[in-house]
Amino acid sequence: MLSHIAILMENQPGALSRVVGLFSQRGYNIDSLSVAPTQDPTLSRLTMTTSENSEIINQILRQLFKLVDVVMVQNLTEAEAYSIELAIIKLIASQNKVEEIISSANNLEGKILNEQDGHTMFEIWGDSADIDTLLASLKDEEFLEVTRSGLLGMTKGNVALNTNDQTEISYD
């Protein structure tokens, strides 16, 4: 089963490579990864998914937290969390045909973005597994391209992955 991990880290050059490098160095797999700055420009937030077992997940959480650039780590799988993934898909098909696909896709929402020369591009969002199912159902001869955001996630209620702390350097 896929586990979701959220990471808050310093928005420093090289910080992302430390996180990604940790996974290859210790032999853990990453299934998806998304990263962007937060409202605080000194912090980046990262969500990753991995299919490792729970013992390895515990190690991953500890190893991540040990990285000097990582401020906080959260296991979203164990928390009550909301998660979503977005995909943009391009098919060799008419707009009408794609509208049909969107409306019949289980548990997913979506909309058409563009149609050009018989190629229709649409976005679709929801659970990653449902996106997998949709992709598997598309016909080979129609399918042209897909890009996925990777999973985004957040805990419900008053638990939050943020920090009021600031790194402080004081001089005499």
Partner 1 sequence: MTSGGEALIRALSDEKIDIIFGYPGGAALHIYDAIYQQDKVQHILVRHEQAAVHAADGFARATGKTGVALVTSGPGATNAITGIATAYMDSIPLVVISGQVASHLIGTDAFQETDMIGISRPIVKHSFLVQSAEEIPAIVKKAFHIASSGRPGPVVIDVPKDMTDPKVEFEYKFPKDLYLRSYPILGEADQTEVSEAVKMLKTAKKPVIYSGGGVIQSDASQELVNLSKMIGAPVTNTLMGLGAFPATDNQFVGMLGMHGTYEANMVMSEADLIFNVGARFDDRITNNPKKFGLEAKKIHIDSDPSSIDKIINVDVALQGDAKLVLSQLCKEFENSELANTNLKPWWDQINEWKEKHGLNHDMLNLENQKDIILPQQVIQSLYKVTKGEAFITSDVGQHQMFAAQYYKFDEPRKWINSGGLGTMGFGLPSAMGVKFAFPDADVACVTGEGSIQMCIQELSTCSQYGLPVKIINLNNRALGMVKQWQDMQYGGRYSSISYEDSLPDFVKLAESFGHVGLKVEKFSELNAAMEEAFSLKDKLVFLDVLIDPDEHVYPMLEAGGSMSEMRISKKDKTF
Q: Which residues bind partner 1 (CB under 8 A)?
A: 9-10, 13-14, 17-18, 21, 25, 55, 58-59, 62-63, 65-66, 68-71, 163, 165-172
Do 97 and 26 meet the contact criterion of CB atoms below 8 Å apart?
no
- Least Å distance, CB 170 to partner 1, is 5
Task: Round to whole Å and give the CA distance between 85 and 30.
Answer: 16
Q: Which is nearer to partner 1, 58 or 96 (CB)?
A: 58
Tell the smallest beta-carbon distance from residue 142 to partner 1 (Å): 42
Whichever of 141 and 171 has its CB closer to partner 1, that residue is 171
Residue 63 per-residue DSSP state = H
Q: CB nearer to partner 1: give 58 or 147.
A: 58
Q: Cβ closer to partner 1: 13 or 157?
A: 13
Residue 153 CB, shortest distance to partner 1, in Å, is 21
Q: How far is the CB of 81 from partner 1 (least distance, A)?
A: 22
Q: Would you put residue 14 in left (φ > 0), alpha (ψ -120 to 50) or beta?
A: left
CB 76 within 8 A of CB 153: yes
In angstroms, rounded to a whole number, what is the distance separating the alpha carbons of residues 95 and 64?
Answer: 45
Give the Cα separation of 42 and 26 in Å (integer). 27
